[in-house]
Chains A and B, each alone.
Chain A
Amino acid sequence: MIQFFSYLINGIGLGSVYAIIALGYSMVYGIAKMLNFAHGDVIMVGAYIAFCVTQYVGLPPLAGVLAAVIVCTALGITIERLAYKPLRQATSLAVLITAIGMSYLLQNVAQLIWTANPKNFPSLVSFPSLSLFGGQMLITGETLVTVLANVVIMVSLTLFINKTKMGKAMRGVSEDRGAAELMGINVNSTISLTFAIGSALAAIAGVLLCSTYPVLMPTTGSMPGIKAFTAAVFGGIGSIPGALLGGLLLGVIEILGKAYVSTELGDAIVFGVLIVVLLVRPTGLLGKQVHEKV
C-alpha cells in the first residue's frame, strides 16, 4: 500500500512537470491556433542553459534558472517572429510542418553546441526530502519543489489571465482574432507574449525535469514534449485547468503503468489512454465543445 502511494507521489511529481509544459502548448494552441512542436525542444535548451550557467560559470542554481528563463523567452519570441509569424494565414498543415522543422533545428543546433553525449545534470534543488511513515515512504525534495512550482504557476497564471488587461487581451484573441483586432488589441504582440510565457514555463519545466531525471541530451525534450502535448489534449487543449488535470493524470498513469503493467510498455499505455480519451471526448476532458458553422 505504501509502495502504491510512493508511486502515486512520483506520478504526481512527473505529472506536475508535464502540466507545466502542457500549459505552454495549451496557451499557444488556444491563442495562435497552432501546435508548437518545438516547445519540447525549448525545454531542452532551458535545461542546457541552466546546466552551463551552474556547472561552467559556477553561479548558484537560482541564477541558472533565471538565465534559462531569459534565454528561453527570447528564443520563444524569436522562433515565433521568424518561423510562425509569416505563416499566420497559411494552412495548419504548413504551420505544423514548419514547427516540426523548428524542433529538429533546435535539436541539431544543440547537438552541434553541446555534442550528442548525454550530460549528467546535477539536481539544482536543495530542498530536504520528506520522510513519512517512519522512513517507509520518501518524498524527494525535487518532487516537493516541482509540485509547489506547479501550484504557484497555475494560480498566478489563472490570476493573470482573468484579472489583468493583457490576460483579457489573450482571452479575446483566443476567442475571435478578427474581432479582437477590431477592438484595438494588438494581436501580434499578444501572440508574442503567449510564446514568451510558454517558453519561460518551458525553461522552468526543463530544470525541474532534469533535476528529477538527470540525463541531459539534445533529444531530452522531445519525448516529454510529446507527452505534455498529449496531456494538454487529454485535459482539453486551450484550458488551463485542463492542462493541470491532464498533466497530473498522465504522470500518474505513466508511473503506475510502468510499475504494475510493464516497464517497456509505459509509453504505449500513455498514448493508448490518449487515443481512448479522444475517441470518447474529442475535445478532451475539460475542453469546450465547439460547434462547426458552415
Chain B
Amino acid sequence: MKKIKRFLSGNAATYAMVVIAFLLCQLALSGLIPGFKMSRSFRGQLVPICTWIVMAVSLNLTVGISGELSLGHAGFMSVGAFSGIIMSAWLLSAFEMENETVRLILAMLAGGAVAGIAGVIIGIPVLRLRGDYLAIVTLAFGEIIRNVLNCLYFSVDGSALHVSFNNPNLPGNVIYKGPTGAVGNKTISTFTMGFCLVIFTLIVVLNLVNSRSGRAIMAIRDSRIAAESVGINVTKYKMMAFVTSAVLAGMAGALYGLNLSTVTAAKFKFDTSILVLVFVVLGGIGSIRGSIIAATLLTVLPEVLREFGDYRMLIYAIVLIVVMLFTNSPSIRQFFGRILPHRTRKGGDAQ
C-alpha cells in the first residue's frame, strides 16, 4: 500500500500516465478498440492537446516553481510558432528537405531557440522587478511582440530568407505577411511528435525541479531574502526558470503553428496567456501532473460541450476566482473543514 502511494506521488506515475494515454489514443486511432471510434473533431484536437500540455507545464515552471506571475506566455508561443513556420518553409525551399519529421524537429528547435533568445532579452529587465510589476511587464512584452509581428514580412527565395518591416513587396514566396499572418503552411505536425514533445518537456521540467537548481529556484520563491543570504544567485536561477519556460513555450508554439495552415499573430493575444494560466491554476499551482490533466480536460471539454460555447470564458473566469478563493481564503477553508473533518486534520498538519 505504501509502495503504491509512493509510486503515485512520484514522477514515474506522471510519465506512466502520459504514456498510457498516448498508447490508448494510438489504439483508438488505429481502430483496435472495438466499439470505440474516435470522432474527426477529436482527432483534430490531439496535437492542440499536446501543445497546451506543454504550454501549461512550462508556465507552471514560472508560476508554480519560480513563483513569478508571467502574463506574456502566449508571446513566446507566437515567437516560436512563426520561427518554426519560417524555418520549415526555408528548409523546404533551400534544401528541398522532404522528410517532414526532420523538418518538424528542426522547426521546433528553431522555435525554441528564438523564443529562448526572446526570453533572455525579456528576462534581463523583467526579473529585476518583483510581484505585480513583473506581471504587468510580461503582459506588456506579450503585446509588444504581437505589435511587432503585425509589421513584419518574411519570404523565402531559393535558399535566401528575406525580412522586411512594413513592406509587403518581397522577392520570392512570401510566407509571413504581417497582419494576415502565415498563410498556406504545410501542416506537418503529428500526434506522435506532439507526444515526444510532451515527454521531452516532462523530462526537462521534472529533472530541473528535482535538481540542485530546482531547489534553489523554489527557495527563492519561498523566501528571496533567505535564499540570497545563503548565497543563492537569485537572478541566475530566476533566469534559468524563465528562459527554460520560454524555450518550451516556443517549441509548443512551433508544434501548434505547423498544425494549422493559417496562423495570425492575433491568435496569441492576451486571452491565450490567460487560458494557459487557467490550466495551471485549475490543475494546481506547482503541480505538473495537475497541469497536464487540466490542459487535456479543458481542451477536450469545449469540444464536447459545444452548446455552452458562449459561456466558456465565463466559466473559466468563475473557475479562476473560485479556485483562488477556496485555496487561499482562511475563512472558506475553515468552513469546509467543518463539513469535511478528514481534510482539516491534513490541512492542519501542513500548516
Complex: A96 Cα to B141 Cα, angstroms:
18
- Report chain B residues within 8 Å CB of A29: 132
Q: Size range of the interface on B?
A: 35 or more
Counting CB contacts under 8 A, is A1 at the interface? no
Q: Which of A87, A103, A112, A282 contacts B133 (CB 8 A)?
A: A282
Interface size on A, residues (CB 8 A): 46
Counting CB contacts under 8 A, is A129 at the interface? no
Q: Which of B320, B325, B328 contacts A100 (CB 8 A)?
A: B320
Given contacts A275-B125, A278-B133, A230 and B140 within 8 Å (CB-CB): yes
Given contacts A90-B329, A96-B132, A233-B136, A265 and B63 within 8 Å (CB-CB): no
Interchain Cβ contacts under 8 Å between A and B, 12 examples:
A83-B325, A92-B131, A93-B67, A93-B131, A93-B285, A94-B324, A97-B69, A226-B136, A226-B139, A233-B136, A264-B166, A268-B144
Q: Which of B314, B317, B329 contacts A102 (CB 8 A)?
A: B317
Counting CB contacts under 8 A, is A7 at the interface? no
Contact B277 A100 (CB under 8 A): yes
Could you give, for residues 144-156 of chain B, a 1 whenever the CB lies within 8 Å of some chain A CB and a 0 otherwise? 1001101100000
Contact A94 B327 (CB under 8 A): yes
Complex: A98 Cα to B317 Cα, angstroms:
9
Closest approach, in angstroms, between the C-beta of A246 and any C-beta of chain B?
13
Counting CB contacts under 8 A, is B331 at the interface? yes
- Report chain B residues within 8 Å CB of A111: 310
- Report chain A residues within 8 Å CB of B133: 233, 278, 282
Counting CB contacts under 8 A, is A104 at the interface? yes
Counting CB contacts under 8 A, is A35 at the interface? yes
Contact B324 A91 (CB under 8 A): no
Complex: A233 Cα to B132 Cα, angstroms:
10
Given contacts A105-B318, A226-B139, A282-B128, A267 and B325 within 8 Å (CB-CB): no
Counting CB contacts under 8 A, is A134 at the interface? no
Contact B147 A267 (CB under 8 A): yes
Contact A105 B151 (CB under 8 A): no
* Chain B interface mostly: helix
Complex: A278 Cα to B133 Cα, angstroms:
9
Complex: A71 Cα to B128 Cα, angstroms:
39
A: residues with CB less than 8 A from B are 29, 34-35, 83, 86-87, 89-98, 100-105, 107-109, 111-112, 222, 226, 229-230, 233, 262, 264-265, 267-268, 271-272, 274-275, 278-279, 282, 292, 294
Could you give, for residues 258-282 of chain B, a 1 whenever the CB lies within 8 Å of some chain A CB and a 0 otherwise? 0000000000001000100100010
Complex: A74 Cα to B192 Cα, angstroms:
53
Chain B stretch 264-323: residues in CB contact (< 8 A) with chain A = 270, 274, 277, 281, 285, 310-311, 313-314, 316-321
Closest approach, in angstroms, between the C-beta of A138 and any C-beta of chain B?
30
Contact B320 A97 (CB under 8 A): yes
- Report chain A residues within 8 Å CB of B125: 275, 278-279
Further 5 A-B residue pairs, CB within 8 A, beyond A230-B136, A233-B133: A97-B277, A100-B277, A100-B320, A265-B148, A278-B137
- Report chain B residues within 8 Å CB of A229: 136
Complex: A34 Cα to B128 Cα, angstroms:
19
